[in-house]
Structure 1
Amino acid sequence: MNIFYKFLKNILNILFFNTCKVCKKHLSEGFLCQDCWKDIDFIENPICIKCGIPYKFEINKDALCQQCLSNPKIYYDIARSVCVYAENTKKMILDLKYGDNLSIAKNIAFMINIKFSNIIEKCDIITGIPSDKETLRKRKFNHSCLIAKHISKLTKVNYNPIVLAKIKKTRKQSSLNVEERVTNLKNCFSVLDKDLVSKIKKIVIIDDVFTTGTTFNEVSKVLKKYNSNIEIVCISFSRALKFNDK
């Protein structure tokens, strides 16, 4: 499918059709059909107070999961996700990232805002996980920053796309094991405006999927280097409950 055809297809869909973002069924309103809404597994309490992973049983509301208890080097303050990474949410994310369906970023932002506006509105700045220059040049947009920008419009929290930069090309995290993911992202993020970061009290960082938390943790580590008191909130649209989900 060439670039012109993709562009024309998206314009026609916007002007003449309203379709479910998952199954593509025609809709009179909204962006998901009733069946696809039902299939989304929203994450609810009880969850780990730190990383936000859901428990399968009732537990103290301030409890940490085993991974957070055993890992002293988690640099973000909290991480939260809207829903479980599954077939329906995967389709939305892939269609946004590789299908050039940019309207999905707005839909994801809407869902994040409904779920976490009370957290986001207490932050000074919102940003997305940065892309390296080669990826940005090929894709023409950064999906995480696009989602963050839409959330900013909904919450009125200041959006800043250049707080962080990804300064080197890395392998796809989805192809690596846990240890390789950490090594892969080591020293690949940088703070662009150190003076700005030193003054931020609370920042929210947006991404599409939380798998092991390595990406969120690496950018948080860089931010804490220049402001040890900064409070970092990481929010993803979806959360992989098994390592091999992504």
Structure 2
Amino acid sequence: MRMQAALQLVYPPQCLSCDAFVTTDFGLCSRCWRETPFITGLVCDCCGTPLPGDEAAGPVQCDDCLTIARPWSRGRAAMLYKDNARRMVMALKHGDRLDLAKPAAGWLKRAADPLLAPDTLVAPVPLHWMRLLKRRYNQSALLAGALARLAGLPHCPDLLIRRRNTRSQEGRDREGRFANIDGAIRMNDRRLWQIEGRPVLLVDDVMTSGATLAACAEACLAAGAARVDVVVMCRVAKDS
């Protein structure tokens, strides 16, 4: 404790997003906190999009989830994909900011708490091995691992396999996103024993159309998962 206090005097903790000093490690300064669109209040039970109004008596869904059949049961998101949240996702994904996974796990757990059961298996959306070789890490696996540790749940980083190197989903419309991911995700045969009859929580950094998460959920259900829920660091909403 004394050593830690001494280190903080010499190297005071800095904001995750800027150079401002903060009181605790892995924290945001007041300005960056205000610029981070955390999701609170009434949300879509299927994807986590914030909805207008007060807390409802039962589950409610957004227009997208009423229109599109989701193969997963429930979903949550920690933040909207804009402003400082978008900057942090990009830093984690492309800027080697692996330190962001720890605080992000806390935000993910707060959002995902209603979905967590004691035997839930936590798994990330997979990267193709060629993209993993280039990037050196799967940001979704970092988030999933940190969330599983924080929640005291089992984590299976290679539960799913991306069997072909799909092109980027950016710039594609909804139909194009679903077509791009079609047939690209499969279950890792060596992990079948871990999934049968138990709930699975899929973790990803960003949800836009939900095409990738849908492909992953379908693979899990086909392999015998009791149900599949999803949680993402950021949700792209129509007003973002």
- For 1:25 and 1:105, the matched residues in 2 are separated by 20
Q: State the 1:93 CA deviation.
A: 1.0
Question: Which of 1, 16, 22 matches 2:17?
Answer: 22
Q: State the 1:123 CA deviation.
A: 4.3
1:195 is aligned to 2:189:
no
Could you tell me which runs of 5 or more consecutive residues in structure 1 were left unpaired when the two chains were aligned: 1-14
Amino acid at match of 1:88: N
| TM-score relative to the length of structure 1 | 0.84
Q: State the 1:121 CA deviation.
A: 4.3
Name the SS for the 2:102 alignment partner.
helix
1:176 is aligned to 2:172:
yes
- For 1:20 and 1:26, the matched residues in 2 are separated by 6
CA pair 113-69 structure 1, distance change in 2 beyond 3 A: closer
Q: State the 1:49 CA deviation.
A: 2.3
CA pair 89-190 structure 1, distance change in 2 beyond 3 A: same
CA pair 17-186 structure 1, distance change in 2 beyond 3 A: farther
Name the SS for the 1:81 alignment partner.
strand
Q: State the 1:147 CA deviation.
A: 1.0
Query: What's the counterpart of residue 37 of structure 1?
Result: 33
Amino acid at match of 2:174: V
RMSD after superposition? 2.1
Note if contact 1:205-1:234 (Cα within 8 Å) is conserved in structure 2: yes
Question: Which of 47, 52, 63 matches 1:51?
Answer: 47
Note if contact 1:46-1:61 (Cα within 8 Å) is conserved in structure 2: no
- For 1:136 and 1:126, the matched residues in 2 are separated by 20
Identity %: 23
| TM-score relative to the length of structure 2 | 0.86
Name the SS for the 2:75 alignment partner.
strand
Could you tell me which runs of 5 or more consecutive residues in structure 2 were left unpaired when the two chains were aligned: 1-9
- For 1:44 and 1:90, the matched residues in 2 are separated by 17
Query: What's the counterpart of residue 113 of structure 2?
Result: 117
